[in-house]
Structure 1
């Protein structure tokens, strides 16, 4: 009996060591990353790429119980790579309260890097420096809403054709000859080739669509942004100093006050105090990233809640090792074709 206990304890310690310093596991809970990652995908998340982040709270392994008040400073060991654009990263959800490594896990794709300016124009993401923004194309596995105009209202989509293209969502509009579909660029191009289709264009959200009770506000508030026409916003970078103004304060207040732990407040419009001293500038202490879901019209991401601090990043998604389709059959079924598929 003692040998069995020792063997189990040793196995648990080895697993804990591997999960802390090398690779962790994550399950996709929502469709925000479709079609790149599907609901029910199980991922390996590499901690080697960006360097393992040491535990910041004292918890009982494999449980949710943590010792209250036991909080350790942020320390990240050296990694083999930097966070790059288009990386799929797992991170702790920044708006959550509590110790960083106990916040709920999210997964999104990095679109904006520290120090860059990011803007979305009619669904297209542009990044770079002010006056020199470069277009960032949709990846083949990303999807968004497209407006499809038919030559006659009576034409109907074939369910078989939609399934072959991986299109699951078709939404009606007030115009009988116009519908909206959620599709990848390749699927949209295929629909465009059908003889009875007049046009296929990105479906652009109007400001009125983004308002209303229960609708999440975009970040930072009060600027009239929509998810399809957003920004420009400049992403904080370690060592960079910004002027604090009525324009920049809404974007950086939470960064300064919450993520960097400074006592920051607005004395009056255009005048600010940090750690008890009146100042007109601030120098950031760490890097931040702007992330977006691959399912652009069904993702709560940086457009809604802001930047991801480097100390919140857990690791890089590298492989789907298992996938379960809850909607297949009466009890679900594995997606064998996705097993051990590299994350794109």
Structure 2
């Protein structure tokens, strides 16, 4: 859907821009020539109403000149600077909630054309702990949002709801980094729940990046569904070059890299940097309002992300 919208936006921008150029360099001069010829024929006594009719812009030209600056601005803003996204699920709770509208920095990881996604300008690379929006590897038509856990060359292990990361061993560096347990401390429980089960909220220290996660203490790990990397044990992955390993902060309610593998660099859309508005949709069964109508605004959630 996002890709189709980008294509439509590009086509409208190109179409209206071409009509504007055609009018500027060809049609408008032709209209002026007709006006000059008509004025000569009437010895300069051509009525003002007739003059206006001769130079009047066609509807298509007038509309194109009106919308082109606006559409071009939106295209540049959305494709190369910032794009708004809505959080549709709870996979990134408690960091992001359903109803949060976030801003995604489209130039942080380089610039791509909005249709074919060809990268024409390099910038920074994702860092461990970044919240990224990307094209779902199994269906690039869908945008996903998760947190970067493993960088290219890293080893990631997730067993018994404990995360381990071994950073890439750089050439010429000795000794190589060891497999490190990612520490987490209990914050509280009961603030969030899943199917009636209170979730445990933890503060995780991802090698210097602190953020909160949720786990369901009663839910066992679905090991049989984990992505099985060739030559590796279940729940253990080594990130290939040019790829990233991502997970949701809501660890027991997130379809992430544990289940489908790695995010190719070319699938990255941008870095989520802040919440610009947050709506709540809480309503009881007696409400007659459609489910998509907000019931309130969570002003306290507006701001940057961790």
Which TM class, normalised by the smaller chain length?
0.5 to 0.7
1:19 corresponds in structure 2 to 78
Shift of residue 309, structure 1, vs aligned partner: 0.3
Change in 2 beyond 3 A, CA 1:27/1:138:
farther
Is the 1:318–1:343 Cα contact (8 Å) retained in structure 2? yes
Shift of residue 54, structure 1, vs aligned partner: 1.9
2:181 corresponds in structure 1 to 135
Pairing 1:184–2:201 present: yes
Pairing 1:235–2:278 present: no
Is the 2:200–2:216 Cα contact (8 Å) retained in structure 1? no
Change in 2 beyond 3 A, CA 1:107/1:22:
same
Change in 2 beyond 3 A, CA 1:204/1:116:
farther
1:244 corresponds in structure 2 to none
State the structure with more CA Rg. Answer: 2
Is the 2:200–2:217 Cα contact (8 Å) retained in structure 1? no
1:318 corresponds in structure 2 to 273
Picking from 187, 203, 210, the partner of 2:217 is: 203
Shift of residue 218, structure 1, vs aligned partner: 1.6
1:116 corresponds in structure 2 to 154
Q: In the TM superposition, what whole-angstrom CA distance separates every residue of 1:107-141 from its partner, at most 9, and x where no partner exists?
A: 00000000011101321211115871122234989
1:34 corresponds in structure 2 to 93
2:68 corresponds in structure 1 to 9
Is the 2:89–2:98 Cα contact (8 Å) retained in structure 1? yes
Picking from 111, 114, 138, the partner of 1:52 is: 111
2:122 corresponds in structure 1 to 78
Is the 1:293–1:299 Cα contact (8 Å) retained in structure 2? yes
Is the 1:109–1:291 Cα contact (8 Å) retained in structure 2? yes
2:138 corresponds in structure 1 to 95
CA RMSD of aligned residues (A): 3.0
Q: In the TM superposition, what whole-angstrom CA distance separates every residue of 1:182-227 from its partner, at most 9, and x where no partner exists?
A: 13127xxxxxxxxxxxxxx9737546x656xxxxx220279883xx
1:334 corresponds in structure 2 to 297
1:289 corresponds in structure 2 to 244
Is the 1:110–1:289 Cα contact (8 Å) retained in structure 2? yes
SS in 2 for 1:11: helix
Change in 2 beyond 3 A, CA 1:78/1:221:
closer
Structure 2: gaps (5+ residues)? 1-58, 168-175, 204-214, 290-294
Structure 1: gaps (5+ residues)? 58-71, 147-161, 172-179, 187-200, 212-216, 238-286
Shift of residue 93, structure 1, vs aligned partner: 0.3
Between the two structures, name the one with larger relative contact order (CA 8 Å, sep ≥ 6): 1
Task: Report which of the two has the higher share of helix.
Answer: 2
Distance 1:236 1:335 in 2: 40
Count of residues in Structure 1 that have an aligned counterpart in Structure 2: 219
Question: TM-score, normalization: structure 1?
Answer: 0.57
Question: TM-score, normalization: structure 2?
Answer: 0.63
Is the 1:27–1:42 Cα contact (8 Å) retained in structure 2? yes
